[in-house]
Chain A
Amino acid sequence: MPEKVLTINKLSKSFGALPVLKEISLEVEKGEVVGIIGPSGSGKSTLLRCATMLETMDSGTLTYGDLTVCLEGCYADKPVLRAARNRFGLVFQNFNLFPHYSVLKNITDAPLCVQKRDRDEVMQLAHSLLAKMGLSGRENAYPCQLSGGQQQRVSIVRALMMKPEILFFDEPTSALDPELTGEILKVIRQLAEEDMTMVIVTHEINFAHDVADRIIFMADGLIVEEGLAHDLVNAPSNDRTRAFLSNIMK
């Protein structure tokens, strides 16, 4: 049986009286790439924020491998939460790089000061990842000196430096010019080829179709449809999915 990296069971979340997620269940296997699509306000980002513990869920269960972060709405103790944070990485829509740190410091500070890893190993990994992302020679640049695409690549490297088992992307290209979108999609595609486990919230349907194994279509806090990427995009069975896809394919 394939190893489950992430298991979400019946996750619900409300903002005040407004329910944004209604009993969402989702499993992600090792090496799998899951795309999440859906209209704005459908709860995709909130789902990602609950999974990355930036938002607390009201009820349901959240598990990373053998670590149960939240069991039916009850969060585990701090050491468990800390250990779970080590299992995933998150790439933000707005990059959220630290502006006062150089590229190298941005990507090495947490591995050194939080994970307390060996300096040589961290530096070696940093340089090899930067080279892989086409950022060699920019080690000492500050985020403000980089293009949006470069900043997003740095933030992907920053997440990878933590050696996550699963990487979440929250609309990684939404803050970028169409011109720069391509370079980020290329990087994510490359990671998919290396069997990185990823969950990607995106508006780029074609990209989701290409890179994801499975696509989830969300609307109104529910998973409306879920299936193999090819099937869901080309032959959606649900009316809402069909309406959404035909709207954005126009």
Chain B
Amino acid sequence: MDYQIMLTELLKGLLVSVEIFVLTLVFSLPLGLIIALGRMSGNCIIRNIFRVYISIMRGTPLMLQLLVCFFGPYYIFNVHLSSEYRFIAVILAFSLNYAAYFAEIYRGGIESIAVGQYEAARVLGYSQGQTFFKIIMPQVVKRIIPAITNEVITLVKDTSLAFSLSVLEMFTIAKQISSAHTTMIPFVVAGVFYYIFNFVVAFGMGRLEKRLNYYR
């Protein structure tokens, strides 16, 4: 086995893993906020719709959700999609799934802010939007960073689930090389790469947490 080629292939796979990781965060972080707001809506129908959504997303395996996102359009709607849809299905499933988890984290953060903050803002004439984005959210972000870090680290490892749709991310490639050459080494190397990836993520989140530590 040529180690040079193996490393290059794994690094190419890592790039795809990073791509899944970044795109998932880009979509699921804002989506999670919308779901959290829906979950806290004063309207009981809207609130229950989002409650059920979160319940399903958290209560079923992500791998199953991946398969549903990929095969669903064909089996349910009889739509034929191009092979590029494979990657889109991965991002779709990951984003929908992680948004549910993020939504609950946001909700916990938002509900932990003292009612006095809303009242002070109201008396000072801030609009609802200003109150939420200027007064409440910055405090929420600081409080939820540790919980978000947990999810983000899980996401790094979960990208390997794209294997179930044969997307050529790092784990899929490691598995292919391993089978072809009957060796454990690609798995060990992939493991090291995942660890480094997470080390960097944890470091970055730690820095962010420190930066937000300018007040108690």
Contact = CB atoms under 8 A, between A and B. Distances in A.
Interface string A161-198: 01000000000000000000000000000000000000
Contacts of B138: 100
A38 B216 CA distance: 35
A96 B126 contact: no
Interface residues of A, number: 26
A90 B119 CA distance: 10
Contacts of A97: 120
Most chain A CB within 10 A, of B117, B124, B134, B135, is at B124
B12 interface: no
A9 interface: no
Interface string B157-172: 0000000000000000
Interface residues of B, number: 20
B120 A142 contact: no
Interface string B196-216: 000000000000000000111
Interface in B88-134: 114, 116-117, 119-120, 122-127, 130, 134
Contact of B123 (A85, A99, A100, A143): A85
B142 interface: yes
Interface in A137-158: 142-144, 158
A124 interface: no
Nearest to B139: A100
Nearest to B212: A100
Contacts of A85: 122-123, 125
A78 B133 CA distance: 21
Interface stretch (A17-25, A110-118, A205-213, A235-243): A110-118
Given A100-B138, A100-B139, A143-B215, A110 B117 contact: no
A132 interface: no
Contact of B125 (A54, A96, A114, A144): A114
A162 B122 CA distance: 13
A162 B121 CA distance: 12
A58 interface: no
Contacts of A162: 124-125
A119 interface: no
Contacts of B130: 113-114
A142 to B, nearest CB: 4
A99 B216 CA distance: 7
B215 to A, nearest CB: 4
Contact of B135 (A82, A86, A90, A98): A98
Given A113-B130, A114-B126, A100 B119 contact: no
Nearest to B130: A113
Contact of A144 (B114, B134, B135, B216): B216
Contacts of B124: 110, 114, 158, 162
A90 B215 contact: no
Closest 3 pairs (CB-CB, A-B): A96-B120, A96-B116, A110-B124
16 contacts: A54-B119, A54-B123, A92-B116, A96-B116, A96-B119, A96-B120, A97-B120, A98-B117, A100-B139, A110-B124, A110-B125, A113-B126, A114-B125, A114-B126, A143-B215, A162-B125
Given A54-B119, A99-B215, 18 more contacts: A54-B122, A85-B122, A85-B123, A86-B125, A88-B123, A90-B123, A92-B119, A96-B114, A96-B119, A98-B117, A98-B135, A99-B139, A100-B215, A110-B124, A110-B126, A114-B130, A115-B125, A162-B124
Interface of B: 114, 116-117, 119-120, 122-127, 130, 134-135, 138-139, 142, 214-216
